[in-house]
Amino acid sequence: MPKIRYYISGHGLGHASRSCQIINTLRRRHAEVAVEVVSDAHPWFFEGFLDGSVPVRARRLDIGVVQRDSLHMDEGATLRAYRQLLAGREALLAEEAASLRAAGVTLVVADIAPLAFAAAAAAGITGVGVANFTWDWIYEDLLSRHGGFEDVLASVRADYGQAAGFLRLPFAGVFPAALPVEDLPLVARRAQRSAEEVRRYLGVAPEQRLALISFGGFGLADFDVSALERLRDWVFVSETAPAVPVDNLIRLVPGALAYPSLVGAADVVVTKPGYGIVSEAIANDTAVLYASRGEFREQALLVEGLRRYARSRFIDNAKLLSGDWGDDLEALLREPAPAQELPCDGDRVAADRLATLARGAAGFSREEVP
């Protein structure tokens, strides 16, 4: 029986959200293909969004980027943490390779832990990546400011070099040289409940504006949430508890409403550029007020995507943290609809391709290298 093991980075929520969307579509369209997940992403996320037939094992195979909150990275700590991971690399690699063989896995998919590809190769199994960037591209940029970690970059690149190829998502960085790539449409979760139904659930009147505050798994430090009370025409909703009570801010327990439905019901999402929230805003035609997340290399790609495919507006971090959002929210609502559309059926395309690969059919061709 074809069987996929899907390794998912625990960095933020974007990797998990798009992976769950692909896996759920795969289970609907190809029920004969078994899937299991290995990840250190938040368990509550999988409990709320992943097909119940898919088992999840908690294990960390990559670091991603160490962050204080959604807007601030610790670049030095990131590189030190990856070096620490490398200290146990050989034991981790041997354990995963043995587990893959014992479980009868026929295809390894990773978004985008490098070690997953080395484990797949050691087990004699095809390994395929699904991502819009790879960590060597991110770490290469970090090394330009923090020398002395060339061993980290060399290890990441060597592990990626053992992949059979990549399914490349939009807003893509530079992928490892000489590896085949196939381009996907956007992978994004869509609202399952109407905006009217969600607003009724939240108790938001039809004449009120609704803004979703979305800062992923890292939250937002040093935010003066009390300033939002001045924006009386707006209701704000967040899954993060405010530091102080705010009359026009609704705090939802994570999972109380499916997040894509919250995105679809909102007039505006207030966020930082991350793949998950950017893709869901585009797919659900929701405007985006975004702040900078620092020198994260992916950011420019996502901002360009917002400018082309969504109504979007930048707010500097000082205004964001002060809660001085009123003028920017109103200006954003006056923005015209985007001139371009982006196909959003990447989950279907990816699911069909992965099912074919898991059955042992034709793989990647080196002619597909860009």
Q: How large is the average pLDDT for residues 226-242? A: 91
Residue 130 has pLDDT above 60, yes or no: yes
For the stretch 150-186, pLDDT in tens is 999 999 999 999 999 999 999 999 998 789 999 999 9
| Angstrom distances, CA of residue 158 to CA of 66, 87, 121, 136, 151 | 22, 16, 12, 10, 10
Q: How large is the average pLDDT for residues 180-209? A: 96
Between 10-14, 26-30, 270-274, 350-354, the lowest mean confidence (pLDDT) is in 10-14
Q: How many CB atoms lie within 10 A of CB 244?
A: 9
For the stretch 213-222, pLDDT in tens is 998 654 566 7
Tell me the angle at which helices 135-143 and 75-87 cross, rounded to the nearest 10 degrees. Answer: 120
- Residue 370, pLDDT score: 46
Residue 122 has pLDDT above 80, yes or no: yes
- Residue 239, pLDDT score: 84
**What whole-number percentage of the chain has pLDDT above 70?**
96
Helix (H, G, I), strand (E, B) or coil at 70: coil
- Residue 24, pLDDT score: 98
Q: How far apart are CA 306 and CA 310, in angstroms?
A: 5
Give 365's pLDDT tier (boundaries 50, 70, 90): low
Give the residue from 181, 235, 209, 176 showing the smallest Cα distance to 334: 209
Q: How far apart are CA 164 and CA 167, in angstroms?
A: 10
Q: Name the pTM for this structure.
A: 0.94
Q: How large is the average pLDDT for residues 281-297? A: 94
Looking at domain 3-187+345-368, its CATH class is: alpha beta
Fold (CATH) for 195-333 = Rossmann fold (3.40.50)
Query: For the chain, which residues make up each domain, given as ranges?
Result: 3-187+345-368, 195-333
Q: How many CB atoms lie within 10 A of CB 93?
A: 19
- Residue 367, pLDDT score: 47
CA 206 to chain centre: 31
- Residue 258, pLDDT score: 92
Q: How far apart are CA 56 and CA 328, in angstroms?
A: 41
Residue 368 has pLDDT above 80, yes or no: no
Q: How far apart are CA 55 and CA 107, in angstroms?
A: 16
- Find residue 211's DSSP bridge partners: 236, 268
Q: How far apart are CA 335 and CA 228, in angstroms?
A: 22
Give the residue from 361, 310, 56, 353 showing the smallest Cα distance to 181: 353
Domains 3-187+345-368 and 195-333 share a fold: yes
Q: How large is the average pLDDT for residues 7-21? A: 94
For the stretch 32-91, pLDDT in tens is 999 999 999 999 889 989 999 999 999 999 999 998 777 788 999 999 999 999 999 999
- Per-residue buried b or exposed e for 26-44, using 16+ beta carbons within 10 Å of the residue's own CB: bbeebeebbbbbbbbbeee
- Tokens for 108? 């390894």
Q: How large is the average pLDDT for residues 182-204? A: 96
DSSP 221-263: SS--GGGGGG-TTEEEEESSPPSS--TTEEEPPTTSS-HHHHH
**What's the mean pLDDT when you consider all of the chain?**
93
Q: Which residues, including other chains, have CB under 8 Å from residue 154's CB and lie 6 or more apart? A: none
